[in-house]
Chain A
Amino acid sequence: MSNTSNAKREKGAGSKTASRAMDKVHASLRKRYRAEKRFRAYGLISVVVGILFLVVLMASILAKGYPAFRQTFITLDVYLDPGVIDPEGSRDAEVLRLADYNRLVRGSLQIIFPDASGRTERRKLVALVSNGAPFQIQGLVMEDPSLVGQTLTLEVPASGDLDMLMKGRIDRSLPESERRLSDLQIGWVDTLIEQGRIHKRWNKALMTRGDSRDPEMAGIWGAVKGSFYMLVVTLLLSFPIGVAAAVYLDEFAPRNRWTDLIEININNLAAVPSIVFGLLGLAVFLNFFGMPRSAPLVGGLVLAVMTLPTVIISSRAALTSVPPSIREAALGMGASKMQATFHHVVPLAIPGMLTGTIIGMARALGESAPLLMIGMVAFIVDVPQGFMDPATALPVQIYLWADSPERAFVERTSAAILVLLAFLIAMNALAIYLRRRFERRW
């Protein structure tokens, strides 16, 4: 470097100034490179920090949530005592339904632990088994009344507390008064373990049932179905309306003060906090139109109103990205405006519109605030069977469970979050796939 500049200096005045300029350039160059390096470092640090947060979040949810997918079961020999179930022998469905199955469960536990006596001890013993166990037996008997009189070896769900003990979430070293299971109960559990009566199985209830007061019987299926019905309504409304509005605004509407106003309003609506849409739903759909509370139909309507601006904006972006030369080509052939739009422009914009819609739907799926206002934050046990049945949604279910004091609900909360995230990731992946698959270069 110094050699070359020396050589240059020897070549008279012109090259001297040139070399001086080059020195300056080199000096400033070093500074510029340093600035660039610094900037890259900042960028890298922020990316790493971001990823770190994400990893910590995902790891903690996964660690908390995955045990919920397995549930502790107790193997019991249940004698279906005809004297308890159906003393008259009528085998009438109503009689079978109303029979005292609790007593059967208690009976089979007492056979294992004959020492347990007195009301409190017996209650503590029964508390090891889920409140769902009698319903399980009831279901079996009602399906096949001929079982009455036999002894069945059944796997019944353990209570949430026992499940927590098995998963190491209840600390045996704590003083008895601070545990949810007493020494006596822990002793019984140990006996059950010795007898090989305790197993962990796939937690079917979590995936197939609605909400419940008992964590071991609580499932997300009701919420998933509620979310599903809502999204169906949202999709059916927001996609066609949004696309029609976008096509009209972009291809047909005259450009004037009114369309400008509409455009500004749509952009502003996209930024309105979602709870406001809930208030709108409460005022319009519930109070004015008198629609039922907690119904997925209303939830879907509210979410559709909320997603519409997103769908319109992304559809318009998709339409604008179709090159004008395509429109000109069609119009120049003598296609009418309508034909040019629907034969050529819209088909090319559809992937972009779908991508936008899916992202809007993903947002709607994760939304809970507007649902607060229309009564969808409710304890609903029955799995909804249609658009008018009371229902909750996945994020609302998460919110409700996160509020419950039982330990067993903590892991179910995380499990529900995992399921919600799985849906969201699937939807976003679909959007990315669509974009990649149909992306065109002009």
Chain B
Amino acid sequence: MEAATMSRDKKARSEQSAQAATRKTASSLFGTDRSSDVPDSTVGVITHDDPVFTCRSVDVFYANKQAIFGVDLDIGRHEVISMIGPSGCGKSTFLRCLNRMNDTIAIARVTGRIELDGQDILDSRIDVVPLRARVGMVFQKPNPFPKSIYENVAYGPRIHGLARDRVELDEIVHTSLERAGLLKEVKDRMDQPGTGLSGGQQQRLCIARAIAVSPEVILMDEPCSALDPIATARIEDLIDELKENYTICIVTHSMQQAARVSQRTAYFHLGYLVEVDETDKIFTNPSHKLTEDYITGRFG
């Protein structure tokens, strides 16, 4: 275990040194105080043995304003990686690069390289429709369609043509709701509107909707920030179960949540990825001052 980390470390270092130069120009262009504390390269271990996503020097601009600065990060298969950091630091922006949701914002521009199983998804020739079927998303505010519970879950399989007939569709809907831990609560009222459920149930419905198209990765952007503690606990349990089959990237502003659900944690600061490492290490022994300040609550 120790050895593996070491070797990963080394690999990371050699890659990062190449990027240090660009990082400097960026900070001299944009940064004054803003990025003065930010390390030249991400501290910790950015790589993973079995990566699903490999992101290298990802920059994101909103019009002329840069929101993400040269992020390098691997996201491993069937791991839960959480992204933390003060608000406005670009966690959502980075997350939305992974399924190209930033395409929906006219002024947003993403550069760099993001490989999903070796294929560059930032390539303009890539079709976002199958990409988003592979990389599902759950949003901050539960946003079920104002349709029946059944229709909510059936929508994805239907547009992607995953079910041959009604029986198969029924099965997909049921297993998805089952996996999202919602089936018991809603099985007698599948035809009632999804918007009539409680907040926590709505969010689990959104998760069921996302897993109905059998994605490889599920992106979650603060999925519990609109929920009460009990509903939050249910979602966290759910994330724990789902990691057997899915890769999960979760943005959260709750450090306890990050500590509870994730194996790795990435700390973002003002658009820079400051530190990423095993969750235990980040929370017990952070390497960078900024990370330490944040997790000890000195700012945030």
Which A residues have a C-beta under 8 Å from some C-beta of B? Answer: 254-255, 323, 325-336, 339, 343-344, 348, 440
Are B104 and A334 closer than 8 Å at their CB atoms?
A: no
Number of interface residues of B (CB under 8 A): 26
CB distance from B148 to the nearest CB of A (A): 13
Q: Contacts A254-B106, A329-B139, A329-B206 given: A334-B101 contact, CB under 8 Å?
A: no
Q: Is the interface of B mostly helix, strand, loop or mixed?
A: helix
Are A329 and B145 closer than 8 Å at their CB atoms?
A: yes
Interface-centre pick from B129, B130, B210 (highest chain A CB count, 10 A): B129
Q: Contacts A255-B106, A325-B141, A327-B104 given: A333-B159 contact, CB under 8 Å?
A: yes
Q: Contacts A329-B206, A348-B146 given: A335-B159 contact, CB under 8 Å?
A: yes
Interface-centre pick from A327, A328, A339, A344 (highest chain B CB count, 10 A): A328
Are B133 and A334 closer than 8 Å at their CB atoms?
A: yes
Q: Tell me the complex Cα distance, A227–B56, Å.
A: 67
Are A328 and B156 closer than 8 Å at their CB atoms?
A: no
Which B residues have a C-beta under 8 Å from some C-beta of A? Answer: 99, 101, 104, 106, 128-133, 136-137, 139, 141, 143-146, 155-156, 159-160, 206, 209-210, 213
Q: Is the interface of A mostly helix, strand, loop or mixed?
A: helix
Q: Contacts A255-B106, A327-B104, A329-B206 given: A334-B160 contact, CB under 8 Å?
A: yes
Are A325 and B129 closer than 8 Å at their CB atoms?
A: no
Are B101 and A328 closer than 8 Å at their CB atoms?
A: yes
Q: A328-B104, A328-B139, A333-B133 are in contact. List 4 more A-B contacts (CB 8 A).
A: A323-B143, A326-B145, A333-B213, A343-B155
CB distance from A321 to the nearest CB of B (A): 13
Which of B132, B141, B160 is in CB contact (< 8 Å) with A331?
B132
What B residues does A328 contact at CB under 8 A? 101, 104, 139, 143
Q: Tell me the complex Cα distance, A330–B132, Å.
A: 10
Return the chain B residue nearest A348 by Cβ: B146
Which of B129, B130, B143 is in CB contact (< 8 Å) with A329?
B143
CB distance from B128 to the nearest CB of A (A): 8
Are A334 and B141 closer than 8 Å at their CB atoms?
A: no
Interface-centre pick from A254, A255, A325 (highest chain B CB count, 10 A): A325
What B residues does A440 contact at CB under 8 A? 146
Q: Tell me the complex Cα distance, A334–B146, Å.
A: 18
Which of A325, A336, A339 is in CB contact (< 8 Å) with B143?
A325
Q: Contacts A254-B106, A255-B106, A327-B104 given: A332-B132 contact, CB under 8 Å?
A: yes
Return the chain B residue nearest A339 by Cβ: B159
Q: Contacts A328-B143, A329-B139, A329-B144 given: A334-B159 contact, CB under 8 Å?
A: yes
